[in-house]
Structure 1
Amino acid sequence: MAPEPDSGSSAPLLHIGSGHHRATGGWRSALFIIWVEVAERFAYYGISSNLISYLTGPLGESTAAAAAAVNAWSGAASMLPLLGAAVADSWLGRYRTIVASSVLYIMGLGLLTLSSMFLSPGSQQCDISAGGRSECPSSSLQTAFFYVSLYLVAFAQSGHKPCVQAFGADQFDATDPIESSSRSSFFNWWYFGVSASATVAVAIMSYVQDNVSWGLGFGVPCTIMLLALVLFLLGTRTYRFYDDSSSGKDGSVFWRAREVFRAWRKRSPDGGALVDHGEYSENAVLAEEVRGLARLFPIWAACLLYGVVFAQSPTLFTKQAATLDRRVGSSLFQIPPAAMQCFLGVSIIICVVLYDRVLVPVARMITGVASGITMLQRIGTGMALALAALVVATLVEMRRLSAARDAGVVDVPDAVVPMSLWWMVPQYVLLGAADVFTLVGMQEFFYDQMPGELKSLGLALYLSVLGVGSFISSFLISAIDGVTRRDGGTSWFADNLNRGHLDYFYLLLAALTALELLAYLYFSASYIYKRNTGNLH
């Protein structure tokens, strides 16, 4: 009989000394959980990748307002997992949190589908022009219902996203040499699976949404998410659960936080440092956890600008692509602007395979590190690639503006700029490669370096980098839009992008990313891993 579904990776495994340990967990269960996440990512990217087209199309918002709104929603979706992880680690456990979140997720997607039915028949097919703002009608009721549904999806994801990945990592025993090595590979193949799913979702759903209907475009992700929940429940008997006797107060994020403050107030009898016996031993452990979390903060802060770069692909990159010649050869078929994100996904898939099968074995022979390069070195490499992506994006946008001027279509927002869409492929490829290094590196780093009771919170901490980065991007776009419009000026994010200056914005982000990389190198050079994980400086 399976134990009570609750998982905290630091808790002792039930029946660990029996055949139960060998009968559950490992790659069989991990692959099962990966497939659940594959379905969830299809649902998420099925709505998020083309969201800016819906806002500037059927809802009739301006480019700047839509980009800021998408960034704000993405930020909330990435920050809320901190709450979801805390609830999972404190009370529900990962398994129950995943189930509850999945139910809310399905409700949110269902309401989102329903909200699209408020559209008038003409606005169902309303498309964004090459450079201008749509005049599609939208009611305040439709807009309000849409945003309520959208943020319900973000709230539901808060429990699903960190817990599913942590639950998957829990299927490998960190004390077993073979399973410990497999866990590092798990993070690579996890990202491979979700990236492949996101790529397929973007390619299919962006076409459906732009050419068939938004109702179907939102309804398919809802159905996929329902199937994900069924798949997850079917795999229950294969999962490796941990004894929940240690959850409750000792496993509670909030209990431990309260006790940490007590530990700082209640010093040893002589007023000195905490002593290592009795009650003070527990206080010393809690204080050490605080110091460990404090050491993570500079690394976390130095990664925030990467979250800003990450936010550009589904927003401004997509608007930029909408102005270009999107025909395939001499055919009439046009690539949906959001489908360009497929190149990001393809880049990730190829780079994951090359990283896991080529780079790691070669680097391992040179460095002697089991993972080839350290987690922090991996993150830093990705930041450098993100900087390169921004430089390329700046040059491509400068060429696009030049092509618009040469063709005399600067003041013709509906005209297609005579420049092939393929010019944008390099920036997507570089950004995809950066994700493989930085995002996967952050996942493993924050999971590995968090205290044992707070593993879900560690993965939520990595997600919060993307969340805060999206909020920063939203703030920058709104602030720059306001400043550049002042006194009758032209916004960098003008609805007619031929009059805007996305190249200035990309260049600004490149400069900020360069400064961030310098700060990251400074903090990572002095970071000491909390235990021997095979990572060396």
Structure 2
Amino acid sequence: MITEPLLSSPKGGITALFFIIANEALERLASFGLSTNMIMYLTREYGMDAASGAQILFLYSAAGNFMPIIGAFLADTYVGRYPMIGFGCITSLLGMVLLWLTTIIPEARVPSCAQFSSKCNNEATTPQLLFLYFCLGLMSIGAGGIRSCSLAFGADQLRKRDSLKYAGILESFFSWYYVISSASVFISMTCLVYIQDALGWKVGFGVPVVLMILSTLSFFLASPIYVKPKAKANWLVGFARVLVASFRKRRIELCSQNPDELYHHGKGSALVVPSERIRFLNRACVITNPEEDLMPDGRASDPWCLCTVDQVEELKALIKVIPIWSTGMLVSVNVCQNSFLLLQASTMNRHITSKFEIPAGSFYAFLLLSSTIWIALYDRVIIPLASKIRGKPTRLGLKQKIGLGILVSATSMAVLAIIERVRRETAIREGISDNPDAAMHMSAMWLLPFYFLLGFSEAMNGVGQNEFFYTELPKSMSSVASNLFSIGLSAASLVASFIVSVVRGFISGENQESWVSSNINKGHYDYYYWLLATLGFATFIYYLACSKAYGPCKGGQGGIAGDVREGSADDDDDYSSLS
């Protein structure tokens, strides 16, 4: 049973976390339930061809990935996390209600086409399209408000960061947040899509509206018990000031004498001397002339010429985590290969029984299922068992989890390359190499070991990175810290596209089939997967170098070659409350 040992006030704690996780889970369930089958709605109800519908959904997805960044910035610097999540809930609900109304009001859409087709005689009018875009825009903005702050707002409910009890509860929160979010996406990809196909759009779009109402109620009902930190100063402007001040003072020599007089720091700040790393930025907080640089109340007379030690250290912290952040992109690149995996699965035998066949597009759900199971096993089985064997609280360090995820991700691509080689040879042997739509006798269940490994890497790397960024960056940047992983996902999509472009550009010709040919049986996807595996192992070596250069995490956690995190015997009872 989980208790609340960290709190000295009735606000916050584990109870508040339940409402925050429920809000996020229900929102994801509703939004992904709408987006998964949206292409069918656009082609059947708005007369769009498949390409136009896909382009709209691409822009919708791009907006959904970008809005959390804006939301994080506004929450951290202006409005705070609680108002931002509340705004996101109301905006998302409004967008979903309006979208649901398009299924009820005939004038909101064109008459339905007789069947799905890339060409439909009925075309939507400009007002109908504008209303549709308005609905999707509201949903993107709302999702940005919720997802940008939900993780960080949950962490705000916990206190006493310097205790081992906090570290354990925080790790459990990050893990279960990821588990429940993945489970929500899994349910939306299966159950909600089935409801839309079986019961029609009115019911299929009405269910997400109900779920979003429950999500909104879940968040606002717990308002009295939330810890609601206020927004801090504009950190983005602060970073710009540090860079400008450092450049303006680039000819100043740095010394370490009389640090209290030499460096400018805020009242009550624990930092009075900047660190030695990235030392050239220290010039931004050097006091050259106290009478000219400082006002009578101790503030800087020109903030673009003199910054505080805290501002300098915040910029250093962000710069310091960028190399570690960059190593996670290739793990996300491997996750982005779902389109190619769908091609593989579509050529294989997907029958579970003689009458039931798993859709090729549903195999991605095995990745979500695998990562969810691994997170649950790690948090509820592996860690308690390891702690019991060692007789003390034991957990993998943050950098150990990230590194392990990268290594296993590269291994999963090597396994996939072997599976693809066997699949291709089977297709040639069965004489169907010229027909990529023909099904072979090889079972698609051979893909499960790959999903099993990639799910483990996601469980380690995804959770590890989120916790690492939140722990290492200043608390004033925690919303941005919780979105660094999402930024990595967006960057990974660009990297994946670049890799495919390079492969198609350099490994193809008149007499040579591209590795990623549209005919999967004639291409060499196994070579392509070996390339990704090689890049993955190279990334792991790069990560080892970055980890060593980074040094120990805050509190000495997570060296890649270091010991697992341990606590004193006095913390055993509090730690066991998580199990």
Shorter-chain TM-score: which interval? 0.7 to 0.9
1:456 is aligned to: 479
Identity %: 31
Taking the aligned partners of 2:391 and 2:322, their CA distance within structure 1 comes to 28
1:169 is aligned to: 155
SS of the residue 1:25 aligns to:
coil
The 8 Å contact of residues 405 and 459 in structure 2, kept in 1 or not, is answered as yes
Q: Deviations over 1:286-336 (max 9, x none)?
A: 1122222111111111221112112223x33234323333333122x3222
2:219 is aligned to: 232
1:433 Cα shift?
Answer: 1.0
Give the residue type in structure 2 aligned to 1:330.
S
Question: How much is the aligned-residue C-alpha RMSD, in angstroms?
Answer: 3.9
Could you tell me which of 530, 555, 569 is aligned with 1:507? 530
Q: Deviations over 1:178-210 (max 9, x none)?
A: 344312221112122222222222222344466
Bigger shift: residues 410-419 or 69-78:
69-78
Could you tell me which of 469, 475, 495 is aligned with 1:472? 495
SS of the residue 1:410 aligns to:
coil
The structure whose RCO (Cα within 8 Å, separation 6+) is larger is 1
1:373 Cα shift?
Answer: 1.6
1:42 Cα shift?
Answer: 1.7
1:352 is aligned to: 375
2:454 is aligned to: 431
Does residue 33 of the first structure (1) align with residue 20 of the second (2)?
yes
1:202 is aligned to: 189
The 8 Å contact of residues 207 and 336 in structure 1, kept in 2 or not, is answered as no
SS of the residue 2:442 aligns to:
strand
Unaligned runs of 5+ in 1: 1-18, 127-133
Could you tell me which of 111, 114, 118 is aligned with 1:122? 114
Taking the aligned partners of 1:203 and 1:270, their CA distance within structure 2 comes to 63
Taking the aligned partners of 1:516 and 1:157, their CA distance within structure 2 comes to 32
Q: How does 1:399-438 map to 2 (within 5 A)?
A: 399-438=422-461
The 8 Å contact of residues 492 and 505 in structure 1, kept in 2 or not, is answered as yes
Report the CA distance shift for 1:206/1:396 in structure 2 as closer, same or farther (over 3 A): farther
Report the CA distance shift for 1:434/1:268 in structure 2 as closer, same or farther (over 3 A): closer
Taking the aligned partners of 1:504 and 1:106, their CA distance within structure 2 comes to 46
Give the residue type in structure 2 aligned to 1:410.
S
The 8 Å contact of residues 410 and 537 in structure 2, kept in 1 or not, is answered as yes
Does residue 297 of the first structure (1) align with residue 322 of the second (2)?
yes
1:83 Cα shift?
Answer: 2.2
Q: Deviations over 1:110-147 (max 9, x none)?
A: 67668896584334xx4xxxxxxx75659886998778
Taking the aligned partners of 1:475 and 1:115, their CA distance within structure 2 comes to 38
Q: How does 1:149-164 map to 2 (within 5 A)?
A: 153-164=139-150
Does residue 329 of the first structure (1) align with residue 316 of the second (2)?
no
The 8 Å contact of residues 7 and 13 in structure 2, kept in 1 or not, is answered as no
Q: How many residues align?
A: 500
SS of the residue 1:240 aligns to:
coil
Taking the aligned partners of 1:56 and 1:80, their CA distance within structure 2 comes to 26
Taking the aligned partners of 1:149 and 1:334, their CA distance within structure 2 comes to 35
Could you tell me which of 237, 240, 264 is aligned with 1:280? 264
Report the CA distance shift for 1:77/1:524 in structure 2 as closer, same or farther (over 3 A): farther
Report the CA distance shift for 1:534/1:302 in structure 2 as closer, same or farther (over 3 A): closer
Bigger shift: residues 499-508 or 90-99:
499-508
The 8 Å contact of residues 328 and 334 in structure 1, kept in 2 or not, is answered as yes
Taking the aligned partners of 2:91 and 2:394, their CA distance within structure 1 comes to 37
The 8 Å contact of residues 173 and 180 in structure 1, kept in 2 or not, is answered as no
The structure that has the greater radius of gyration is 2
The 8 Å contact of residues 189 and 365 in structure 2, kept in 1 or not, is answered as yes
Q: Deviations over 1:323-361 (max 9, x none)?
A: 333333122x32222322332222223211221133334
Taking the aligned partners of 2:121 and 2:330, their CA distance within structure 1 comes to 34
Does residue 343 of the first structure (1) align with residue 343 of the second (2)?
no
Give the residue type in structure 1 aligned to 2:336.
A
2:75 is aligned to: 88
Give the residue type in structure 2 aligned to 1:287.
V
1:422 Cα shift?
Answer: 1.4
The 8 Å contact of residues 75 and 466 in structure 1, kept in 2 or not, is answered as no
Taking the aligned partners of 2:217 and 2:29, their CA distance within structure 1 comes to 15
SS of the residue 2:441 aligns to:
strand
The 8 Å contact of residues 7 and 159 in structure 2, kept in 1 or not, is answered as no
The 8 Å contact of residues 77 and 235 in structure 2, kept in 1 or not, is answered as yes
1:211 Cα shift?
Answer: 6.3
2:299 is aligned to: none
Taking the aligned partners of 1:42 and 1:523, their CA distance within structure 2 comes to 37
The 8 Å contact of residues 29 and 235 in structure 1, kept in 2 or not, is answered as yes
Unaligned runs of 5+ in 2: 1-5, 104-108, 267-307, 563-579
Does residue 310 of the first structure (1) align with residue 297 of the second (2)?
no
1:396 is aligned to: 419
Q: Deviations over 1:395-424 (max 9, x none)?
A: 222233333333333334443333322122
The 8 Å contact of residues 471 and 554 in structure 2, kept in 1 or not, is answered as no
1:70 Cα shift?
Answer: 7.7
Does residue 531 of the first structure (1) align with residue 554 of the second (2)?
yes
Report the CA distance shift for 1:298/1:495 in structure 2 as closer, same or farther (over 3 A): same
Report the CA distance shift for 1:328/1:270 in structure 2 as closer, same or farther (over 3 A): closer
Taking the aligned partners of 1:518 and 1:59, their CA distance within structure 2 comes to 47
1:377 Cα shift?
Answer: 0.7
Does residue 320 of the first structure (1) align with residue 344 of the second (2)?
yes
Does residue 193 of the first structure (1) align with residue 218 of the second (2)?
no
Taking the aligned partners of 2:438 and 2:252, their CA distance within structure 1 comes to 78
Give the residue type in structure 2 aligned to 1:318.
L
Taking the aligned partners of 1:392 and 1:324, their CA distance within structure 2 comes to 17
Report the CA distance shift for 1:401/1:238 in structure 2 as closer, same or farther (over 3 A): same
Report the CA distance shift for 1:468/1:386 in structure 2 as closer, same or farther (over 3 A): same
1:43 is aligned to: 30
1:446 Cα shift?
Answer: 0.3
1:163 Cα shift?
Answer: 0.3
Report the CA distance shift for 1:35/1:300 in structure 2 as closer, same or farther (over 3 A): same
Report the CA distance shift for 1:269/1:469 in structure 2 as closer, same or farther (over 3 A): closer
Q: Deviations over 1:251-294 (max 9, x none)?
A: 32233223323542565996535954497225222112222211
Report the CA distance shift for 1:368/1:375 in structure 2 as closer, same or farther (over 3 A): farther
Taking the aligned partners of 2:495 and 2:412, their CA distance within structure 1 comes to 19
The two structures have a TM-score, normalised by structure 2, of: 0.74
Taking the aligned partners of 1:503 and 1:55, their CA distance within structure 2 comes to 35
